[in-house]
Amino acid sequence: MVLGRMGKAMKDSALSVGLKVFFNEKFGEYGEVKDCSVDTHAGCITAHVLMRGENAPITVTIERYELEQDKGKTYIVIRRLTASRQWITLLLNRVLDGRRFEVPSSVSKVL
């Protein structure tokens, strides 16, 4: 049981690092992900993001996501997001809900 939890924690930690890099490359023009945490058991991802022109980071949580395989590639489909600012929650859900993004192979290997 302890080894299972340690393995999950290591997997989640590796995914967190990989997704931080992925998010910064994909959405870097809008801001910088300062830290990212993944909970594969709960199926959520939380990131603290310093948006361009802002003084303090916001918290963005992907409350539900799905992973899909298609032609040997892995994709993440975002289903529900929340942010520490209501207007950002509304915007993110309007723009990103249901969108599918290819997961880099370096990250998908950990999945």
C-alpha 60: how far from its chain's center?
A: 9
Average the pLDDT over 74-102 and give the result.
Answer: 94
65's tokens:
């996501």
Which sequence spans correspond to the domains of the chain?
Answer: 2-108
Per-residue pLDDT band for 105 (boundaries 50, 70, 90) equals confident
Query: Between 11 and 61, where is the model more confident?
Result: 61
- Please tell me what DSSP assigns to residue 110: T
Which pLDDT belongs to residue 2? 54
Radius of gyration of the CA atoms of the chain, in A: 14
Give the closest residue to 62 by CA, choosing from 45, 40, 87, 37: 45
Tens digit of pLDDT for each residue in 17-67?
888 998 899 899 999 999 999 998 898 999 999 999 999 999 999 999 998
52's tokens:
């361009």
Distances (CA, A) of 23 to 5, 36, 71, 78, 106: 26, 9, 23, 13, 14
